[in-house]
Structure 1
Amino acid sequence: MSSQPLRIGFVPEHFSTPLHFARKHYGLNAQLIPFPSGTGHMVTAIRAGEIDIGIGLTEGWIAGLGKEGVEGDGGYRLVGTYVNTPLCWAISTGKERPEITSVQSLAGKKIGVSRIGSGSYVMGYVLADQQGWLASGGGKEPYADTVILNNFEKLRAAVNAGEADFFMWEHFTSKKFYDAGEIRRVGEIYTPWSSWKIVASTNLTRDDDGLDARVKDLFGKLDQGIKHFNENPEESVQHISTELGYTEPDAREWLKTVEFPAKTQGVKPEVVDNCVSILRKAGVLEEGKGMEPKMMTYSS
């Protein structure tokens, strides 16, 4: 086992609170590296050897491994579950876009995404599938353009400037910008799967003795951080509202909606199968191409 601290990529939003508690209260020995641009950026970083662990969105990790033409061993495997509940993606447009009146009016419009393969990109196809915008077998794109904007700030600017017509981002992260009148809410869509997974670089899953001991230690510390989060809601609200930029009422409301697992190690095969099945139906992944679901998860 290496004595080097793990480099853990994470999204610096409210969901990161148990990870913060794991380090603050339970001695997690890790370098926490924020990725405000999300899971798609972490896919690139873990393949480049810049991080060892990533905590991000299920659909982003699975799309990254399931795409045709993934080089080498794909760079990472799903090793753990961070959030059990689905994610509520808010669908947003600019504050002065009167032509956009509903989710249905987004058909054939320009979608803004953080990166190709990110959650915001993948969910665009899930939305198109749910709305019936995917031409069966025709391979036609459901949107006029996919505008890559890298981060939440640029997405908000783009829908106000007309560079993009709409984008999707997590509900509570978006809400304060609705409240401030910067952007306008059009609708919402929930992921049809549990929303956050933990992945490890394949460099940590090659040991003859099984998973790298530092990853096992991470699971133990995360479990303690989650228990602390559940048992200390006031400390959680305080952290979210002072360190992460959410209002106290929004932090309290979010606590009612989220469920973290008691044990983070492991990923249920049916969750991966279901996600791959829906992503294939939505046209994000192709049957017979890319990594098969059972190969995406590390099993000792």
Structure 2
Amino acid sequence: MTAIPLRIGYVPEHFSTPLYFAQHYFGLVATLVPFPSGTGHMITSLRSGEIDLGIGLTEGWITGLGQKKDPNTGETLDTEAGYSLVGTFVDSPLCWAISTGINRDDITSIQDLKGSKIGVSRMGSGSHIMGFVLADQHGWLDPGTQPFSLHPLQTFAKLREGVSNKTADFFMWEYFTSKRYYSASASPHPIKQVGEIYTPWPSWHIVAADPKDSRLEDFFVRLDQGIEYFQGHQNESATYISQNLDYEDEDARSWLETVRFTKGTKGVSRKVVDHTIEVLVKAGVLADVPSPSTGMIGLVRDE
């Protein structure tokens, strides 16, 4: 009997390379569904039953699970959030570049951003959530006020356009994805970097609409094989990234030196989730809750 393919949502950036290898070399039975607008869009698709699995940013998944209302529709969420954490993908933190338009002489440092307009892909996305972490780190969180006005612009391309035409003043996106546009000759919509911030948690996790889905076991085996292949074939990985995912070869190779994928993707650390929640509560993204990770994790990792 032919297995029904998993519908896997992913962000079509360099981090997706082991997923491609898992399908290309190790027989992962899946339909890979790209989400260039990121984790927030995947959350909506998981809740509507359009995908079975998502690989996205830790802060996006946990915020989605901890919120009482959908940040995109405003609707009250059921006690079941539509997905749960089932796996770990990347152990290293993510470097978020803080960028504005290359023509924005009024913005030269992070200090110029307080009270400004932040462009985000979608409400509830990592680009939205990390703005509050940035504000917390700089002491800009005041009760009853917002540190920035929020402007959802969907995609990386539209974010670059937004800071160029002053729809937004700045946005935050992964550093190496942003880097090739830090030049006046970049096209379209060149940008400049005014700072950076690292996630205080492992950067990528895996969620499933149904943590008891019988296809998950095979998925984790194939994905682990894809990661192992990725790590053992760095030249091929860099070539794939530069030829298929809009990165310069030099940047792909530099990124390979910084990233640390998980060994054994099945399961999620309760300590990691609780720590992430603590930071998000402090940053004002989530309300404080007792036993924070209860109900969020579908597959717990042995610790």
Q: TM-score, normalised by structure 2?
A: 0.93
Structure 1 residue 133 corresponds to structure 2 residue 140: yes
Q: Which residue of 1 aligns with 2:207?
A: 199
Q: Which residue of 2 aligns with 1:233?
A: 234
Identical amino acids, percent of aligned pairs? 56
Aligned runs of 1:103-118 on 2, under 5 Å? 103-118=110-125
Structure 1 residue 90 corresponds to structure 2 residue 97: yes
Q: Which residue of 2 aligns with 1:270?
A: 271
Q: Runs of 4 or more off by more than 6 Å in structure 1?
A: none
Q: Which residue of 2 aligns with 1:208?
A: none
Output the CA distance in 1 between the equivalents of 2:97 and 2:151.
Answer: 18
Output the CA distance in 2 between the equivalents of 1:212 and 1:154.
Answer: 36
The alignment partner of 1:93 has SS state of strand
Output the CA distance in 2 between the equivalents of 1:270 and 1:294.
Answer: 12
Output the CA distance in 2 between the equivalents of 1:274 and 1:89.
Answer: 19
Aligned runs of 1:143-182 on 2, under 5 Å? 143=148, 145-179=149-183, 180-181=185-186, 182=190
Q: Which residue of 1 aligns with 2:82?
A: 75
Output the CA distance in 2 between the equivalents of 1:225 and 1:130.
Answer: 36
Output the CA distance in 2 between the equivalents of 1:117 and 1:2.
Answer: 37
Q: Which residue of 2 aligns with 1:30?
A: 30
Partner letter of residue 158 of structure 1? G
Aligned residues: 289
Output the CA distance in 2 between the equivalents of 1:217 and 1:3.
Answer: 11
The alignment partner of 1:294 has SS state of coil
Listed one character per residue, the Cα deviations across residues 220-253 of structure 1 (whole Å, up to 9, x for unaligned) are: 0000000000000011011001011111100000
Instruction: Pick the structure with more helix per residue.
Output: 1
Output the CA distance in 2 between the equivalents of 1:139 and 1:77.
Answer: 31
Q: Is the 8 A contact 2:133 2:280 kept in 1?
A: yes
Output the CA distance in 2 between the equivalents of 1:2 and 1:115.
Answer: 37
Q: Which residue of 2 aligns with 1:18?
A: 18
RMSD after superposition: 1.5
Gaps of 5+ in 2: 70-76
Aligned mate of 2:198, from 168, 190, 193? 190
* Offset, 1:139: 2.5
Output the CA distance in 2 between the equivalents of 1:61 and 1:281.
Answer: 17
* Offset, 1:299: 3.4
Gaps of 5+ in 1: 206-210
